[in-house]
């Protein structure tokens, strides 16, 4: 297999009632780890590059070209997706670089502004054949649409999709970004209502803070694309710490990065199977 569009992967998962893992790339080693996880699980994966990641690398192009190269060499279907872009110019960059899907994040904006900007981005992206994810949730707290207690209204979500033309929608149902424990409580009934109200697949952001059993419930209720970053970053960092603590003489970064990469591969493969309801 080779590089594919997230459109195909998300639609296939949605039509079969499964979830699909969308994991954030931080650097080249995480991209390699995630593609290896896809091969191990024999399941497709979506590699996500966020606006914050692009900023870390100085621009989108360096990390994007590396990630696209890794995806093209994959044994399994792999998509590369722009995550949490708040700048429409970054969406244009991603399209020019060959991304098959983008997420425009207007979730922290007033509803009318979110609609107008998302509609404009979706129009440009669709003209290039690119799949678009939008975000909707009442503003609240530093996490915007994913602050604790914030919820997406099904009627508003239906109107938002109709007005913007997005192909998938990230919704606020109880998760929150960057959680270090997995204690978030999801509103499963709301997920089911949103699934019934909308014809587009649902996306769960902040899944690092959600326990396995709750994610399975969410998938069964209609959630499709499951975004994970912090949880996998924890596996990487803990393995680096462990390896360095065991050998204080290590100076070759490959010697402690490689085990960390393997740790991400193992956990990402497990999560891919979980989301696909293979281990549920």
**Catalytic residue positions, numbered:** 83
Between CA 54 and CA 200 the distance in angstroms is: 28
Q: Among candidates 244, 168, 234, which has minimal Cα distance to 24? A: 234
**41, 267 in Cβ contact below 8 A?**
no
* Token reading at 256: 């402690």
User: Residue-wise over 20-36: b if at least 16 C-beta within 10 A, else e?
Assistant: bbbbbbbbbbbbbbbbb
**Residue indicated by tokens 């060499």:** 73
Between CA 78 and CA 254 the distance in angstroms is: 25
With 0-12 / 13-18 / 19 or more C-beta atoms within 10 angstroms meaning exposed / middle / buried, residue 199 is exposed
Between CA 194 and CA 170 the distance in angstroms is: 11
């Amino acid at each position: 297999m080779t590089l594919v569009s997230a459109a195909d992967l998300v639609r296939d998962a949605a039509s079969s009632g499964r979830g699909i893992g969308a994991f954030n790339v931080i650097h080249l080693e995480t991209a390699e780890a995630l593609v290896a996880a896809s091969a191990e699980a024999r399941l497709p994966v979506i590699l996500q590059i966020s606006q914050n990641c692009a900023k870390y690398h100085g621009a989108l192009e360096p990390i994007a070209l590396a990630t696209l190269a890794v995806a093209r060499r994959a044994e399994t279907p792999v998509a590369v997706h722009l995550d949490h872009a708040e700048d429409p110019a970054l969406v244009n960059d991603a399209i020019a670089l060959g991304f098959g899907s983008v997420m425009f994040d207007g979730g922290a904006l007033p509803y009318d502004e979110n609609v107008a900007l998302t509609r404009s981005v979706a129009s440009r992206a669709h003209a290039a054949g690119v799949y678009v994810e939008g975000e909707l949730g009442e503003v609240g707290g530093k996490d915007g649409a994913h602050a604790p207690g914030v919820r997406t209204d099904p009627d508003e979500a239906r109107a938002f999709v109709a007005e913007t033309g997005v192909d998938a929608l990230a919704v606020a149902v109880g998760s929150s970004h960057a959680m270090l424990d997995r204690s978030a409580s999801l509103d499963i009934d709301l997920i089911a209502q949103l699934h019934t109200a909308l014809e587009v697949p649902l996306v769960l952001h902040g899944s690092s803070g959600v326990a396995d059993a709750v994610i399975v419930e969410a998938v069964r209720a209609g959630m499709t694309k499951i975004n994970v970053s912090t949880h996998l970053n924890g596996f990487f960092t803990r393995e680096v710490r462990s390896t360095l603590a065991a050998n204080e003489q290590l100076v070759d970064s490959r010697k402690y990065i490689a085990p960390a990469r393997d740790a991400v591969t193992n956990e990402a493969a497990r999560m891919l199977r979980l989301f696909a309801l293979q281990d549920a």
